[in-house]
Chains A and B, each alone.
Chain A
Amino acid sequence: MATETTEAAGSAPGMPQLDFSTFPNQIFWLVVTLVVIYMVLSRVALPRIASVLAERQGTITNDIAAAEELKEKAAEAEAAYDKALADARAEAGRIGAETKAEVQAEIDAAIRKADAEIAARTAESEAKIAEIRDGATAAIQDVAKDTAEAVVAAMGVDVDKAAIAAAVDARVKG
């Protein structure tokens, strides 16, 4: 294109980049710009961002440590709860066994007492029965002696009480 190389006012003569007359201007303003940006960054922006990042890192570290601590606490609480539960269970079992043993002992005692009472009553009754039986035997002997005397007297024979008693005794024992 011929027009591109035409030196018209406002149009570029070839590459404007190689127009050395503008170099001092660009270099001057570039240096100014770089110095300004460097000042802005190194005085204000970069320290601020660095502090923000450090602060965030610190916050995160602290939070993680706190979370770790809380987690440990929770684990401890759970262990304590489990232990309490196990203790309570053991206690309940122990109390149950104890109560059972006590009740058993009471029952045993009551049975023994009842047995003893029964035995005592039985012995008493047996004694009474034996007494009654002895009484009855004696009464029978008396009645037999009296009857024998009466019979002997009715037959008109002299009554020898002693002989009759001996005879009756011998018969009763017989």
Chain B
Amino acid sequence: MAEEAKGGGLEFHPMDQFIIKPLFGDVGDSVGMFTVTNATFWMALAILAIAALMILGTRGRAVVPTRTQSVAELAYGFVYKMVEDVAGKDGLKYFPYIMTLFLFILFSNFLGLIPMSFTTTSHIAVTAILAMAVFLAVTILGFVKNGASFLGLFWVSSAPLALRPILALIELISYFVRPVSHSIRLAGNMMAGHAVLKVFAGFAQVAAVAPIAIFGVVAIYGLEVLVSAIQAYVFTILTCVYLKDALHPSH
């Protein structure tokens, strides 16, 4: 490539890590619906890691837990309490699904932090499906549980009558923007963090700035560890908040 030489030997491909490619076969092969890709591989790893923590870790069923078991119990208690506090007691019916979301996002984020790995949650296709599933489920649930009174969510009865139509419009827009922000927040955070890591790593090729670049990689990596956990938490708690709106639509 002729252009690459112009940058003084510097090569930046910060987005290459996000390419979906078939796990078996050549890079250029087309990706069909059922092709086993790197995304498949890392999702499978997430399943294995979750199973290892939640099933292998708790196989002792000990009253005094082992280390792994107490981590599993901690995760369980954390999400359980979140659902109970935010969505209320009747939200606990949906706890397994929320737990599924939390663990999938958490493990995908953390597995993505392994060098050379692939981050499934950095793809908008994945997070959009997660968010749309939550959005559709919550909307359908709201109408099934509350009937037409679910629309009261948009009609702010505590506001002056003149303001209510305007507020209803704003509420309606914000309601439909939810899945967008919900998904882009997660994918954007993961993608940006990994891209920045890659850019810093690219700068490490130049001897003059290598120490700073490597320090930058370490610092950003630390930040990404934080972001990984926080984004999983944020996604989960927003799911709980939306669920609460569906179960108790009154403001």
Contact = CB atoms under 8 A, between A and B. Distances in A.
B120 A30 contact: yes
B23 to A, nearest CB: 11
A38 interface: yes
Interface stretch (A52-60, A100-108, A127-135): A52-60
B31 A30 contact: no
Given A41-B99, A45-B72, A59-B63, A22 B31 contact: yes
A99 interface: no
A42 B15 CA distance: 36
Instruction: Kindly list the 5 A-B residue pairs having the minimum CB-CB distance in the complex, ordered from nearest.
Output: A45-B54, A12-B15, A42-B96, A22-B20, A16-B18
Interface stretch (A2-10, A74-82, A87-95, A146-154): A2-10
B72 A3 contact: no
Interface of A: 1-4, 6, 8-12, 14-19, 21-34, 36-38, 40-42, 44-46, 48-53, 55-56, 59
Nearest to A55: B63
A11 B13 contact: yes
Interface stretch (B37-45, B137-145, B159-167): B37-45
Given A41-B103, A46-B99, A52-B61, A17 B34 contact: no
B62 to A, nearest CB: 7
B211 interface: no
Interface string B1-22: 1011011000111111011100
A24 B34 CA distance: 8
Q: Which of B3, B14, B95, B103 has the most CB of A within 10 A?
A: B3
Contact of A23 (B96, B125, B133, B191): B125
Interface in B53-109: 54-55, 58, 61-63, 65, 69, 72-73, 76-77, 95-97, 99-100, 103-104
Contact of B43 (A9, A33, A53): A33
Contacts of B237: none
A30 B55 contact: no
Given A6-B3, A22-B125, A27-B125, A53 B15 contact: no
A36 B19 CA distance: 24
Contacts of A45: 51, 54-55, 58, 72
Given A19-B20, A49-B72, A9 B27 contact: yes
